[in-house]
Structure 1
């Protein structure tokens, strides 16, 4: 791994599983990517990269606003199970000391449950996404049938399991 690869591999990204209501969720906001061509049309949880000196929660708020025009209230973090968790690198930044989900291209991803800060806010698809869909959580296999990015599949499975409790 070259020096630039090690920086990339330790890079943290954040995402939100945006539910219509954290207390009584019925739908999940799913975002279909616009690019790169090999991933266009595949779904992901909205979010993005954490910038240097930025706390993960700050980055998530910024990314949700930039990508989908949504202000969100964060709920609990969806923690990666031990067998999948990627540990934080020894030189991790502020607030980046927690294990994370494995993401594409060697990135690490932390995921929070969230809800729109303004009830009824649906967000909007910007340049990063072809479309946004609020997908019903029931039946649970409806979510799993979407063409998700491979890295998001275990997160969706964990989310479905967590919401079924």
Structure 2
């Protein structure tokens, strides 16, 4: 898939998320964010990220979003491919492409959109977190790839 949305895209909103791991080569931990808003998502866990702006590639948007939300610089890895060209359906209007990422500079902080961020062990126990519904199948695919 092209890194840029096209006019023929099924979803009008393209979102990107980072599966931030402690090491792209041998991941053992995943950084997760607990939403602070909106109310229906507050307290639930997700992949940090955000919307792709019209002139951005998915990669550029994710690098920007992770810097804005967490205060970190990252190196991107492979994509956790979803069932659609635009990744994983979030709702009828939006889909999310998720990429593995590794922090190369900075310490992650909850600067925007999150009540907290924390590292969790990358194993099946992460399924016990109260994930946003749309992120749960992505977490399952991440575990299939990483474990």
Higher strand share: 2
Q: Structure 2 matches for 1:1-165, cutoff 5 A?
A: 9-80=11-82, 85-87=83-85, 99-104=86-91, 106-118=93-105, 121-137=106-122, 140-164=123-147
Q: 2:92 and 2:65 mapped to 1: Cα distance?
A: 19
SS at 1:39's partner residue? coil
| Count of aligned residue pairs for this structure pair | 139
- Which residue is 2:4 aligned to? none
Higher helix share: 1
Task: Tell me the TM-score normalized by structure 2.
Answer: 0.89
Task: Tell me the TM-score normalized by structure 1.
Answer: 0.79
Structure 1 position 8, deviation (Å): 9.9
Structure 1 position 70, deviation (Å): 1.2
Residues 68 and 112 in structure 2, CA contact (< 8 A), matched pair in contact too: no
Q: Specify whether residues 43 and 104 from structure 1 end up closer, same or farther in structure 2 by C-alpha distance, changes over 3 A only.
A: farther
SS at 1:37's partner residue? coil
SS at 2:40's partner residue? helix
5+ residue gaps, structure 2, are: 1-8
SS at 2:64's partner residue? helix
Q: 2:80 and 2:10 mapped to 1: Cα distance?
A: 23
